[in-house]
Amino acid sequence: MSRIGKQLISLPKEIEFRNLENNISIKGPKGQIMKILPKSIEIEELEPGVLSVKRSEESRKSRQLHGLFRSLLSNMVVGVTQGFTKTLDMKGVGYKAALDKGTLVLNVGFSHPVRIPAPTGIKFEIETNTIIRVIGVDKEVVGLVAQKIRSIRPPEPYKGKGIMYRGEVIQRKAGKSSK
């Protein structure tokens, strides 16, 4: 049995949990998230506020999904109570970020500014003009949006310029050497 999948999930009091056939919905103070469960995974409420993830069959696929959906459910609970944040740092001469009515505007060395509209459920914050925060309730969407922003100007190994995650270490390379 999956070590992660057999762990119980405790729900705080302010969370509303619904399980309608294969659709689960979790609503909390930060927002609401919905997911579709595969047929081989079942969620049962052992007692009020305690959830357990079970699998109905012992196939390889259902064993793989068991731990995955327990983790996804746990992330949903954390997302609607606390939310998720990814922080991106921009390094480079003239690199700056700004907000324009919910749209992120990046000046990262191109001839034009790059505009990124905020998807549903995502909010951008600019701490300084080189630090961007992506905030939301769904961990997957927050990570995808942060990755999309990073892919506009990924960090390069020679000068260390680009957009990188907070705490990311870029392995530096030596440039050309003269003889």
Most confident region among 13-17, 87-91, 166-170 by mean pLDDT: 87-91
Answer whether residue 122 shows pLDDT above 70.
yes
Answer whether residue 90 shows pLDDT above 80.
yes
Say what the pTM is. Answer: 0.86
- The helix/strand/coil state of 77 is helix
**Residue-averaged pLDDT of the chain:** 90
- The helix/strand/coil state of 40 is coil
Can you name the CATH fold of 84-165? Outer Surface Protein A; domain 3 (3.90.930)
Answer whether residue 74 shows pLDDT above 70.
yes
Domains 9-81 and 84-165 share a fold: yes
Nearest 5°: phi and psi at 73? Answer: -65, -40
- Tell which residue, 87, 98, 81, 73, has the closest CA to residue 19: 73
Could you report the per-residue pLDDT of 130-176, keeping only the tens digit for each? Answer: 999 999 999 999 999 999 999 999 999 998 899 999 998 888 888 88
Q: What pLDDT does residue 1 have?
A: 58
Q: Taking the domain 9-81, which CATH number applies?
A: 3.90.930.12
For the chain, which residues make up each domain, given as ranges? 9-81, 84-165
Query: What's the average model confidence in pLDDT over 91-112?
Result: 91
- Tell which residue, 127, 32, 114, 58, has the closest CA to residue 86: 127
Say if residues 2 and 41 touch (Cβ distance below 8 Å). Answer: no
Using CA atoms of 36, 41, 42, 47 in order, give the dihedral in degrees to the nearest 10: -100
Could you report the per-residue pLDDT of 37-58, keeping only the tens digit for each? Answer: 888 888 888 888 898 888 888 8
